[in-house]
Amino acid sequence: MFARKTSPISIPIPRIEPERHPNVQNPPETEVNAPLDTHLPEAHGDQDLTRTSAEQLYEKLRLWWPNEEELLIVKSTRKDALVHAIKAAEFYMKAVREAKTPADRLRLQEKLGDVITLGEYLKASSVGQRIPPKQPRETTPRETVILLRSSKLKGNTFLPWKASHSAPEAFQLKASKRLFIDETPLPLSRVQLDNFAGWKRPADMFPPSTSPSSLEASHHPSLEISTGRDLVQDVTADCSVVASLCSAMRLFCRAEGSLLNEIMFPFDSQNNRLVAPENGKYIFRMNFNGCFRRVEIDDRLPASLTDRALFVTDRRNPTVIWPALMEKAYLKIRGGYDFPGSNSCTDLWVLTGWVPQQLFLQRDALNLDLEWNYIAEAFAQGNVIVTLGTGRISSTEEEATGLVGKHDYAVLELDPDPNRRQLLIKNPWRSGETWKELGSTSSAATGDELKTEGPAHLHDQTGTFWMSLADVTQHFESMYLNWNPALFRHRQDHHFVWNLSPRKNMSATIVHNPQYTMVAGENGCVWVLLARHFTDEETTIIRQRPRSSDDMHAENSPMGFISLYVLDSGGKRVQKLSRGVYSGPFVDSPQTLAKFEVEKGKAYTIVPVHDKLPLLSCTFTLSFFANGRLAVGPAEDGMRHYTEVPGAWARNTAGGNSGSTNYGTNPQFSITVAERTPLSLLLSTDHPDTAVHIDLVWADGKRVGPSLAIKDVLADSGAYVPGCALLDVPSVDAGTYTAVCSTFESGQHAEFSLRVGSASPHVVRPVPTEDAGRLRTQLAPFVFAENETRLRARLRVGRLTRMRVYVRSTTAPSAPHEVPRRSSTPLRAAIMSGRGPGEMVLAVSGEGEFTEPTAGLRTPEVDVEVGRAEGEGVWVVVERVGGNRRQETFQVEILGDGPVEVGGWEDVS
């Protein structure tokens, strides 16, 4: 999938650490007194215990009361080590009961938990099949409602999984002898309909010669799960699904411990095989919308009128249908066979529940060489599934390279040889186009030839080819990794509704984003997965977009983008994004994964963010994976009290930065606190190109004038930044302060919100403008003629009047959101008395300098006496400098505390 922002990603293979009791002060009675056998599955074989993990655990155990059984664990085979672990557990059970002090009891209980956990690992049967991470956290009632509401998709109800869903009676034929029919409509595309011959059961689809009646009724060749599968995609546009099935086939078809045992039912676990249900019903356990869910289908598949297949087929044995049944169950979730597209990461997350990660191979920050050893090791252990995705490729390049643009490929095998580092890749298409090695860098770089051998059931599959890691990074856009969640000992899922309704002037902030605090119980790596739930509205939006390909690789995703940020903010809610512990790429996939290192006992804030998600409300699940215990919960606000007030930079209030003579006209607010408190001020606007700033001034809540002295500024938000400025003051004394909200340039019009936070109660009030309560006297608009540079108009007053002059260009916008046009005529405005040699300046704008009146010119206030106005005469004078190449109209207003009479304009150039 396309990503617009990227950041470095590391892929350490997590170590398996022993589990501790959720509450060592009062552990459940069963954990202390129950026989150890109740905690341990059956042991298999005499494999040696992994020395690294055993030694780590031994170092941990020997700190308190070591006994002989513990000393023998490291040196023993898996089977013998298990015996010693059981005896050690019995020793600690007795020691817990006989402990003399509460402190001793707690430490012994913790050691008992470690030994029991180690025993559980010793009984794990094979590599890649480890005990799933435990989830001690209980789902809240609110989250339960979210999961139930997320069960509804396309008229179906996919309930959260229960063990009873796969009970044998679900597959028995009823007394009516009628086979199960799933009435759910599964739409077909136009091309599929042209080949469609109806929905048929396997017995009707294949000739009798291909289904020998002598075979057991419960086990047909159509359900065989041997490793010789060669799956291909034909008419159905689901390359990502078929690539996912091809890549996961080695785990589905393992001789022991097939993943199908956890996914597809009915399944004979004792004989590691699928079973044909009597009633034609199959039930799948699939992971989506926050949990594993029950998906049931019948065994009917879309038959074809031609030789084109409408479902995934095994080229070596077309009667094998269980992959097609799995495909059908998945497409039922996603809306039908007219599949709008996905990516393999998402598909495998649903099919297997394995944690998805997307690596962007074209990103400069990614060093795949450093990641390769981790990936290859996990692949060899059966702990990761790998697929690949191409980006946009021109038709000419497709023809030359043999690769298909915006297409997902399976990875069947990795060659970990450090001199070659190659991948066996499969194109899932029926036509099986393969890479033509055009532009290969492997031979030139290493002098080695591409590997051609491999397991026979892999290298001779349709559309397979070897490619070096260097060539993969050159020709593919994404590598998709799905990790075995059993790599971790602890997991927590948190489900939430994200209200995405626009909050006015808050688009540049994360004030209203869901945020979680996380504290790790020990140092190590933590993975956090953000997963968006599927909805009917999402499917409709995707189907309605114009598509030129069969997948979802698009630069303008109709579903928007999501990302995850991890901030070192003490676990408190944050108001504005900043570079933190982890800054994730923005992806158009429904899932995104954050992987980062944590320190024991340190609190972090996890923040989901989005860009252009089209729905007003979405449900998400945030999943945490770690090998140490985690404390996770909704993050709390950093302050107890918040006030949000609106404001605007308009015609008379867009004063610009503190270097502007109109700075004092900016919107200002008085902030009163009754006691010493930290203070937070957030200034935000929905105009992303408007650079904003906050000054907190010692002004007792009074208006700050045009000249701002540094000594008067208590604190400021730093440099002007687009869209959103944040000012955090660790502590202010009780009193009243003035906050000035400004844009960098004067005359920029926009609405904004000011959010004030404090630990103790506060009061926020707008500071009245200097012109508040003043009488406005408007002069006739004027335009300078070609030779005019100085105009004046006489003023008369009936009493002593305090006044100022305000001049603006009427080319500036009158609406708040219009972009102002800059005036091309520098002006100077003044209030003057007398004329000729006796002329005296009473007040002048810009300290006497000529300035552009984009945001208006103002003179200081001045008192005008009746006698002076009648005798010497008092005048408003407007002067310009330079030419007037375009006709520019100016408006002058007199703002005073009494009535003012104004004469006509006179040219006194």
Q: What is the DSSP letter of 870?
A: I
The CATH number assigned to the domain with range 775-907 reads 2.60.120.380
Lowest mean pLDDT among 124-133, 169-178, 471-480, 670-679: 124-133
Q: Does domain 641-766 have CATH number 2.60.120.380?
A: yes
Structure tokens, 645:
């007030």
What pLDDT, on a 0 to 100 scale, did the predictor assign at position 838?
80
Lowest mean pLDDT among 165-174, 233-242, 440-449, 557-566: 440-449
In angstroms, the CA 153 to CA 187 distance is: 14
Structure tokens, 203:
């017995």
What pLDDT, on a 0 to 100 scale, did the predictor assign at position 68?
67
Most confident of 356-365, 723-732, 872-881, 890-899: 723-732
Lowest mean pLDDT among 21-35, 239-253, 273-287, 675-689: 21-35
What pLDDT, on a 0 to 100 scale, did the predictor assign at position 822?
54
Measure Cα distances from 183 to 296, 297, 782 in Å.
11, 9, 78
Q: Domain ranges in the chain?
A: 29-122, 157-352, 355-483, 489-542+558-634, 641-766, 775-907
Percent of all residues in the chain with a pLDDT value above 70, rounded to a whole number: 82
Q: How far apart are the first and last CA of the chain?
A: 68
> Are 355-483 and 489-542+558-634 in the same CATH fold?
no
Is the distance from CB of 574 to CB of 605 less than 8 angstroms? yes
What 3-state DSSP class applies to 565? strand
The catalytic residues are 239, 407, 427
How many CB atoms are closer than 10 A to CB 489?
24
Lowest mean pLDDT among 114-128, 569-583, 595-609: 114-128
In angstroms, the CA 415 to CA 378 distance is: 13
Q: In degrees, to the nearest 5, what angle opens at C-alpha 379 toward C-alphas 263 and 480?
A: 75
**Among residues 192, 360, 171, 198, which one has the least CA distance to residue 267?**
171
Give the contacts of 473 (CB within 8 A, at least 6 positions apart).
361, 362, 368
Is the distance from CB of 907 to CB of 791 less than 8 angstroms? yes
Structure tokens, 896:
């005073």
How many CB atoms are closer than 10 A to CB 33?
10
Task: Report the DSSP pairing between strands 196-200 and 301-304.
Answer: antiparallel
CATH class of the domain defined by 489-542+558-634: mainly beta
Residue at token pair 């909805």: 535
* Domain 355-483, architecture per CATH: Alpha-Beta Complex (3.90)
**Rounded mean pLDDT, 451-471:** 74
Q: How many CA atoms lie within 13 A of 811 on its CB side?
A: 14
What pLDDT, on a 0 to 100 scale, did the predictor assign at position 226?
80
pLDDT tens track for 332-379: 999 899 887 789 999 999 999 999 999 999 886 677 777 888 899 999
Most confident of 89-103, 116-130, 296-310, 874-888: 296-310
pTM, two decimal places: 0.77
**Among residues 350, 342, 619, 679, which one has the least CA distance to residue 498?**
619
Partners of 411 in the beta sheet?
425
Is the distance from CB of 878 to CB of 792 less than 8 angstroms? yes
Residue 621 binned pLDDT confidence (cut-offs 50, 70, 90): very high
Q: What is the mean pLDDT of the chain?
A: 83
Most confident of 61-75, 408-422, 562-576, 871-885: 562-576
In angstroms, the CA 764 to CA 645 distance is: 8
